[in-house]
């Protein structure tokens, strides 16, 4: 009886907390959107970050109004909005950025560089504290820069003129959907018929793979033509296509709802990339149907690459004394926090590889050595997966992607 009463009490407490958070939106936020343009300067030796511009996006808040705080311990950084008096967390989202990758390059180990960051937040109704957080050596988040936002006293810039996005497929209120904005780069001189065909193709790519296909009604899709500053050869990798112009990208987005941004290059060359909770990139290559879902795994789900490439400068990134942040790889430091609950108690760990698994199947769940660029010491959930070799997303990756979709739609 005592156990049942405890469970009921916990359920009531969770329900009360959820209702309180939902009711708090109108108390703390206006329903508009605040854009923070930040600069981060540094190298592997250290870095600093500051708010360079405060912008009124002049648009309704498109994110959830009930699920305001981030439940995932993922991303190298986090933005947190707090009540300055009580310290209570009002809004938060984890994210990553190109600077995190720059630090692991030969140049980034010693030479300082500056990187743009942009965060979209619900517009505060009253004074709040905004913390830009970083992870320390033991992977715990701490405040790196803290600023105050005072409505009516804070000088806000206005958004520049931007192209009008086309609502391609809309299933409901942006506040209850995962809004994806496609920025079509290099399509300015493409006739409307070919442009529409390209949009239709990329919309089909996004919604063509599970678990996205089963959640079609949870998405709103928008398309616009603009230059996002994306180019190949990021950090010397010829197929890695990213942008260092985050502010330009968000200027182009204007007021378009965008829980996630996808940049599509009008280029037949294979390439792409993604940054967790920032944006994903794909070209119009014939393999875009595989490349974009893989990049969305990074950009939306915060999933890790599961393939092996010991030649990369960061191949030993996950062979550390701390469990990787990404949910789909483990170094066995704390496997219980990953997908151990999805395996039988007598499962063989590490799991022996089975090369007989077909190319279009994941195979049985286990802990297979070889993931996160490392051939040893890092493990993945299945023999094959979208995050390894463009097979279907494995159950572990699907679980995280569905949890993120629910964060924006429930």
What's the pLDDT score for residue 304?
A: 97
Helix (H) or strand (E) holding 245: none
What's the pLDDT score for residue 19?
A: 40
What's the pLDDT score for residue 315?
A: 58
Q: What sign does the CA torsion over 26, 27, 30, 36 have? A: negative
What's the pLDDT score for residue 314?
A: 60
What's the pLDDT score for residue 16?
A: 38
Helix (H) or strand (E) holding 147: strand 141-149
Q: Tell me whether residue 60 is exposed, middle or buried, using C-beta atoms within 10 angstroms of its C-beta: 0 to 12, 13 to 18, 19 or more.
A: middle
Burial annotation 391-408 (CB, 10 A radius, 16+ → b, else e)? bbbbebbbbbbbebbebb
Whole-angstrom distance, CA of residue 298 vs CA of residue 277: 9
Ramachandran quadrant class, 25 (left: phi over 0; alpha: psi -120 to 50; beta: rest): alpha
- 135 and 40 Cβ atoms separated by less than 8 Å: no
Strands 279-283 and 230-231 turn out to be: unpaired
Whole-angstrom distance, CA of residue 93 vs CA of residue 277: 8
Measure CA 294 to chain center.
Answer: 12
Reported pTM: 0.92
For residue 77 the two structure tokens come to: 């950084």
Residues 6+ apart with CB under 8 A from 186: 227, 265, 266, 267
DSSP assignments along 73-130, one per residue: --SSEEEEEE-TTT--EEEEEEE--HHHHHTTSTTTTT--EEEEEEEEEEEESS-EEE
- 181 and 258 Cβ atoms separated by less than 8 Å: yes
For residue 119 the two structure tokens come to: 């965060």
Whole-angstrom distance, CA of residue 157 vs CA of residue 141: 30
Helix (H) or strand (E) holding 295: helix 288-299
Q: How many CB atoms lie within 10 A of CB 3?
A: 7
What's the pLDDT score for residue 11?
A: 39
Whole-angstrom distance, CA of residue 282 vs CA of residue 137: 33
Rg value, the chain, Cα: 21
Q: How many CB atoms lie within 10 A of CB 205?
A: 20
Which parts of 112-208 fold into alpha helices (H)?
Answer: 192-207
- What are the residues facing 82 on neighbouring strands? 89, 129
pLDDT tens for the chain, 410 residues: list them.
433 333 333 333 344 334 434 468 999 999 999 999 999 999 999 999 999 999 999 999 999 999 999 999 999 999 999 999 999 999 999 999 999 999 989 999 999 999 999 999 999 999 999 999 999 888 999 999 999 999 999 999 999 899 899 999 999 999 999 999 999 999 999 999 999 999 999 999 999 999 999 999 999 999 999 999 999 999 999 999 999 999 999 999 999 999 999 999 999 999 999 999 999 999 999 999 999 999 999 999 999 999 998 676 565 677 788 999 999 999 999 999 999 999 999 999 999 999 999 999 999 999 999 999 999 999 999 999 999 999 999 999 999 999 999 999 98
What's the pLDDT score for residue 23?
A: 63
What's the pLDDT score for residue 20?
A: 38
- 273 and 193 Cβ atoms separated by less than 8 Å: no
Whole-angstrom distance, CA of residue 375 vs CA of residue 368: 10
Phi, psi of 261 (to 5 degrees): -120, 135
Whole-angstrom distance, CA of residue 383 vs CA of residue 31: 45
Domains of the chain: 24-158 (2.60.40.3250), 166-299 (3.40.390.10), 304-392 (no CATH)
């Amino acid at each position: 009886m005592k156990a049942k009463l405890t469970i009921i009490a916990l359920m009531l407490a969770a329900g009360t907390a959820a209702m309180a958070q939902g009711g708090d939106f109108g108390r703390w936020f206006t329903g508009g959107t605040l854009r923070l343009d930040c600069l981060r300067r540094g190298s592997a030796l250290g870095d600093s970050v500051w708010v360079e511009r405060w912008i009124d996006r002049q648009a309704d808040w498109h994110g959830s109004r009930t699920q305001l705080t981030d439940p995932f311990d993922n991303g190298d950084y986090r933005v947190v909005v707090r009540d300055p008096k009580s310290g209570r967390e009002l809004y938060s989202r984890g994210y990553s950025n190109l600077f995190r990758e720059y630090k692991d390059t030969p140049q980034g180990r010693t030479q300082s560089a500056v990187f743009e960051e942009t965060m979209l937040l619900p517009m505060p109704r009253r004074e709040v504290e905004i913390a830009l957080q970083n992870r320390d050596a033991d992977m715990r988040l701490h405040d790196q820069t803290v600023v105050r936002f005072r409505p009516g006293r804070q000088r806000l810039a206005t958004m520049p003129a931007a192209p009008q996005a086309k609502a391609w497929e809309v299933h409901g209120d942006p506040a209850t959907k995962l809004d994806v904005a496609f920025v079509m780069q290099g399509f300015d001189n493409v006739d409307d018929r070919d442009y529409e065909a390209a949009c239709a193709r990329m919309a089909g790519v996004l919604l063509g793979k599970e678990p996205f296909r089963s959640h079609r009604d949870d998405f709103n899709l928008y398309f616009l033509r603009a230059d996002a500053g994306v180019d190949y050869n990021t950090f010397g990798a010829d197929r890695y296509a990213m942008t260092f112009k985050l502010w330009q990208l968000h200027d182009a987005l204007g007021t378009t709802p965008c829980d996630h941004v996808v940049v599509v290059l009008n280029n037949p060359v294979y390439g792409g990339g993604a940054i967790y909770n920032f944006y994903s990139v794909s070209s119009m290559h014939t393999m875009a149907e595989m490349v974009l879902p893989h990049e969305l795994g990074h950009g939306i789900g915060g999933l890790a690459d599961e393939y092996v490439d010991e030649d990369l400068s960061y191949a030993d990134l996950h062979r550390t004394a701390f469990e990787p942040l990404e949910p789909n790889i483990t170094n066995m430091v704390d496997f219980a926090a990953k997908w151990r609950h999805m395996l039988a108690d007598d499962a063989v760990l590490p799991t022996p590889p089975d090369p007989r698994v077909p190319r279009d199947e994941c195979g049985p769940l286990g802990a297979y050595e070889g993931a996160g660029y490392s051939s040893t010491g890092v493990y993945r959930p299945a023999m094959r997966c979208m995050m390894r070799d463009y097979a279907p997303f494995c159950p572990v990756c699907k679980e995280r992607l569905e949890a993120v979709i629910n964060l924006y739609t429930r």
